[in-house]
Structure 1
Amino acid sequence: MVENIADAISTGAAVGRYQLKQLLQKHPWGPIFLAHNREGQHVMLRLLEFQRTANPAHRAPSPEEHMIFLGRFQQEANQVADLRHSHILPLLDYGSFRGTAFLVYPYVSLVPLSNLLTRGRSPDVQAVGLYLEQIISALEYAHECAVLHRNLSVNNIFLHNNRHVLLSEFGLLRMREHGLQIWERTQGFEGHSESSAPEQLLGRSVDAYTDIYALGTLIFHLLTGQPVFQGSSREDVMRQHLYAEPPSLHTRRIDIPEGLDALMLKAMAKEPQMRFHRPSEVLQAYYQAVAPERLPVVATLIRDAVQLAGMHPAPQKTTHSSARAGIPRSMDQSSSTKSRLSRRTLLATGGSTAVAMTAIGIGLLSAHNARQPSLAGTTNQTPVNSQPTTSTRTTQDTKTATPNSKSVLARTKDIPINMAKTFPLKDQKNPGVLVHLSNNTFVAYDTTCTHEGCSVEYSQTTGHLECPCHGSVFDPAHNASVLQGPANMPLKALQITVQTDGTITMV
């Protein structure tokens, strides 16, 4: 274990293939560092020192206890790292260093959703609905993949560029619970008290209904700016979660539409089976009360989640990455990591952070997530039948021959889902861009911005095409429509065809 973190920082200790550079946060569950990987990219590395907080006297776990924890940690981390969704902050890498488990995420600046609620006023009901669409799409997908969050709150949901919602901390509480069970022989719950479901507080089994309860508390907090239950102590708040009904929203905010109180009562029912059965049902009930014209979004959200989950890799026996392919590494080595080279990289911070801006790597963030599109399709989306391989490396190839009729732009296997590749266009400076959308279709556009002709760039952070000159943003999943001006016209679509041999050509 890392006994002296200050020394580790001052000496620039290497944790596996990562060099520690700076302490970002002293979190109760373990310190969070800025680090560099071997490619020189910034990452955020989090050491999980659960045994120190589970054992105030710092009783060292037995070798058997430690191996049990590392095995459970590996299993949970493997499930989380397999999640691939535009609104989930995914895991880039994980492993153990001198017996201490660690998690690695990209390094980028994000704003906790809780910051919105400290600015003096709550978002309007329409804005809350847009946040919920993104949050619930992530939960719907995770549940389709049989992964629970367990600890959802405004402290572990973040905003990128003030509009793109990202959920963090999938699996972190479960890892913490594994430590408690092993070192303290207890089933104690240590998640956010403001969103604790009764079954969690009672040490009972949890399921998708547990996340539904937390979703109810989240909606209350977003609409009112206050937690649903408040008290002088954690125990007081927990007691209310066990026995009290949620207060009427109208006692905190008078402009709440009729019907939302009923939503709260159902989402936060004490008996799990009395709650909504899936996250999308919560969104449906919300829009029935707030904006019925948005109800079609719910059907699209479910369809997207089911299809994306269908691409989720089946559980496999896990091996650990090595400098050479085919050499497995044991979890109890001084440094062992499970490289997530198949993941679109992004960030995650530990939750419950009081930092206004959570630092975590824009360079790596841009390699992981794209906005999950509607599956309704667009005129220039081209489906692909084969399952693509993935890589965290941005694919950009300027050596492709200048396209003419039926010239090959790329092969499907060369562009992972939620990534893009540029290619030259004849007789013009700006290239074209080929995007592999998360519904497994390909689209292509001329990158020339319709505002003043700058070349837009694909952001794997958001899945959008963004102009670096004046800030215009376009949505490749919806015919490159304008999401943000000053541009007011979509990008020019390029017609492409996916051949049966996997080659992609421009018509």
Structure 2
Amino acid sequence: MVLAPGTVFAGFTIEALLGRGGMGEVYRARHPRLPRRVAVKVLTDDAARDQEFRARFEREADLAARTNHRNIVTVFDRGVEAGRPWICMEFVDGTDVAVLLRRNPSGLPAPQALHILTQAAAGIDHAHRLGLLHRDIKPANILLAPGDPGEGERVLVSDFGIARSLDETQGLTGTGSFVATIAYAAPETFTDAPVGPRADLYALGATLFEMLTGAVPFARATPAAVMHAHLYDPPPAPPDLRPGLPDAFDTVIARALAKDPDRRFGTARELAAAATAALQTVPPRRGSMTSTPAAGASPPPAGPTHRPGARRRTAHAGSRSDTASPTPPRAGRPSGTTPPRAGRPTDSTPPRADHHAGTTPPRAKHPSGATPGSIARPPQPDPGRARRWVIGVLAAAGVVTVLVLGSHGLRANRDELPPCPSSEAQSAPSADQGVPTAPPLGVPAATTVAVPGQNCRVVN
């Protein structure tokens, strides 16, 4: 039951409903004794009767209370009122990155994205030093509030509801169970492989990808296809989705989203420093893609994280293949590197539909379907063909001569021929095709495939 404004709950005077989800609601409220506003998260009646949900909810308060960092939402208290557990926490009077991305569907300006990344990274590393994993890093769980003058927005990581301690041997959801937002989930979370801090760094890398391109890395038509892409597909090249991003940023994303956790960055700060260094190479242009150099930032490391093969592709919207995902590798943990693909199509950035914070549907992008074993080796030149090529050129020259001599008759009858359609007429879509307007910064338009929900619970 949703609490109405003015209701007194556990001593807190409810002012407004801030949000609601499957587990509970979050309210803005007045503290009963202190002159401050707080956020009160209340478990729903149905969830309160579920011992698993109840235990996870209470753990959020206990785990978050162990942190003390300006980039993590502070928890003040917890309790039970009328059979419903509640958590009192810091009220952040602002917005979140998911809302910000809905307002900027082609991505955020680079300086703003780097500021958010750097601040969130500090909070995530603090939690990791305490032995805590967040397990649900995503734009909706990164809150933004006005900061002190000259310091930019204050960035806070929220929602430790499914966090776990590193030394735990059994999760609350049971063996083989998974709870997270699959658009940002690391490959190992879908398997029985150990899950460590680098799963949070993978999710942070996916969030960075979306902040700068406006698209999630692996947008597919079904949750199962998204999971498969996390496990086996390389991420698209960010400059293909947002022209103006430097090639060096592709290397950063390739390492952040490596399939093998050992190939990823070691800390969130390392990821932030590498992204800052890569984006310093952006040439000045309209669209706020430039960023000021950061002191101490080191260039992104080269090595096994580099994506082999041709770096850039050019394609228009609608040229992407709708074939199946690449054939998965043989048994074992997926490697962090992927064989080169022939003719990988350009991924385009679809317009983002307005939705509730915390539900970021994957955009529609499909892999080309090329499997590692199906990429043919380019044919080698045949020395014996050179002579035939010369003869062919001479023969073609004779044909050209005949055409030139006969051009007078063609020109004389030119008025009888129908005019050829212009390239603009051929490429212009009809009014009923519904092709969206291209977003800023030259991002090609694409078709959006709606995906029902992102939060997935898979039980083996």
Q: Which TM-score applies when normalising by structure 2?
A: 0.54
Give the distance between the partners of 1:11 and 1:71, measured in 2 at CA.
Answer: 29
For 1:254, the equivalent position in structure 2 comes to: 243
For 2:46, the equivalent position in structure 1 comes to: 52
**Cα deviation 1:434-466 (Å, max 9, x = unaligned):** xxxxxxxxxxxxxxxxxxxxxxxxxxxxxxxxx
Report SS of the residue matched to 2:178. Answer: coil
Q: How does 1:277-296 map to 2 (within 5 A)?
A: 277-291=266-280, 293-296=293-296
Which amino acid in the other structure matches residue 93 of structure 1? D
Taking structure 1 as reference, are residues 150 and 353 closer, same or farther at Cα in structure 2, changes over 3 Å only?
farther
Is contact 1:249–1:261 with CA below 8 Å preserved after alignment? yes
For 2:153, the equivalent position in structure 1 comes to: 164
Which amino acid in the other structure matches residue 78 of structure 2? Y
For 1:152, the equivalent position in structure 2 comes to: 137
Alignment of 1:234 onto 2:202:
no
Taking structure 1 as reference, are residues 34 and 133 closer, same or farther at Cα in structure 2, changes over 3 Å only?
closer
For 1:80, the equivalent position in structure 2 comes to: 64
Which amino acid in the other structure matches residue 230 of structure 1? A
1:255 Cα deviation from its structure 2 partner: 1.0
> Number of aligned pairs?
282
Q: How does 1:35-434 map to 2 (within 5 A)?
A: 35-39=29-33, 41-49=36-44, 52=46, 60-61=49-50, 66=51, 73-118=57-102, 119-161=104-146, 163-174=152-163, 187-202=176-191, 204-291=193-280, 293-296=293-296, 354=356
Give the distance between the partners of 2:123 and 2:32, measured in 1 at CA.
Answer: 31
Taking structure 1 as reference, are residues 89 and 76 closer, same or farther at Cα in structure 2, changes over 3 Å only?
closer
Is contact 1:193–1:237 with CA below 8 Å preserved after alignment? yes
Give the distance between the partners of 1:158 and 1:110, measured in 2 at CA.
Answer: 7
Is contact 1:21–1:35 with CA below 8 Å preserved after alignment? yes
Give the distance between the partners of 1:36 and 1:353, measured in 2 at CA.
Answer: 28
Taking structure 1 as reference, are residues 268 and 240 closer, same or farther at Cα in structure 2, changes over 3 Å only?
same
1:295 Cα deviation from its structure 2 partner: 4.3
Q: Which runs of 5+ in 2 are unaligned?
A: 282-292, 299-353, 359-460
Is contact 2:59–2:161 with CA below 8 Å preserved after alignment? no
Give the distance between the partners of 1:201 and 1:95, measured in 2 at CA.
Answer: 33
Taking structure 1 as reference, are residues 126 and 41 closer, same or farther at Cα in structure 2, changes over 3 Å only?
closer
Match of 1:30 among 9, 21, 24: 24
Which amino acid in the other structure matches residue 186 of structure 2? A
1:127 Cα deviation from its structure 2 partner: 3.1
Is contact 2:6–2:13 with CA below 8 Å preserved after alignment? no
Give the distance between the partners of 2:243 and 2:162, measured in 1 at CA.
Answer: 35
Which amino acid in the other structure matches residue 220 of structure 1? F
1:170 Cα deviation from its structure 2 partner: 4.2
Which amino acid in the other structure matches residue 126 of structure 1? P
Give the distance between the partners of 1:251 and 1:10, measured in 2 at CA.
Answer: 48
Which amino acid in the other structure matches residue 238 of structure 1? M
Q: Which TM-score applies when normalising by structure 1?
A: 0.50
Is contact 1:209–1:276 with CA below 8 Å preserved after alignment? yes
1:250 Cα deviation from its structure 2 partner: 1.9
Which amino acid in the other structure matches residue 145 of structure 1? L
**Cα deviation 1:350-400 (Å, max 9, x = unaligned):** xx98259xxxxxxxxxxxxxxxxxxxxxxxxxxxxxxxxxxxxxxxxxxxx
Give the distance between the partners of 1:353 and 1:186, measured in 2 at CA.
Answer: 33
Give the distance between the partners of 1:174 and 1:278, measured in 2 at CA.
Answer: 18
For 1:483, the equivalent position in structure 2 comes to: none
Give the distance between the partners of 2:70 and 2:197, measured in 1 at CA.
Answer: 20
Give the distance between the partners of 1:126 and 1:72, measured in 2 at CA.
Answer: 36
Which amino acid in the other structure matches residue 61 of structure 2? A
**Cα deviation 1:397-422 (Å, max 9, x = unaligned):** xxxxxxxxxxxxxxxxxxxxxxxxxx
Taking structure 1 as reference, are residues 353 and 34 closer, same or farther at Cα in structure 2, changes over 3 Å only?
farther
Is contact 1:135–1:165 with CA below 8 Å preserved after alignment? no
Q: Which runs of 5+ in 1 are unaligned?
A: 299-351, 357-507
Give the percent of matched residue pairs that are identical in Structure 1 and Structure 2: 23
1:268 Cα deviation from its structure 2 partner: 1.1
For 1:14, the equivalent position in structure 2 comes to: 9
Report SS of the residue matched to 1:266. Answer: helix
**Cα deviation 1:2-47 (Å, max 9, x = unaligned):** xxx25x54882432x3244443333222122233322264322111
Is contact 1:288–1:295 with CA below 8 Å preserved after alignment? no
Give the distance between the partners of 2:142 and 2:5, measured in 1 at CA.
Answer: 32
Taking structure 1 as reference, are residues 95 and 202 closer, same or farther at Cα in structure 2, changes over 3 Å only?
farther
1:208 Cα deviation from its structure 2 partner: 1.0
Q: Which has a greater percent of strand?
A: 1
Is contact 2:73–2:90 with CA below 8 Å preserved after alignment? no
Which amino acid in the other structure matches residue 235 of structure 1? A
Give the distance between the partners of 1:24 and 1:117, measured in 2 at CA.
Answer: 19
Taking structure 1 as reference, are residues 95 and 297 closer, same or farther at Cα in structure 2, changes over 3 Å only?
farther
1:265 Cα deviation from its structure 2 partner: 1.4
1:225 Cα deviation from its structure 2 partner: 0.8
For 1:427, the equivalent position in structure 2 comes to: none
Taking structure 1 as reference, are residues 267 and 232 closer, same or farther at Cα in structure 2, changes over 3 Å only?
same
Give the distance between the partners of 1:70 and 1:114, measured in 2 at CA.
Answer: 27
Which amino acid in the other structure matches residue 287 of structure 1? T
Taking structure 1 as reference, are residues 157 and 297 closer, same or farther at Cα in structure 2, changes over 3 Å only?
same
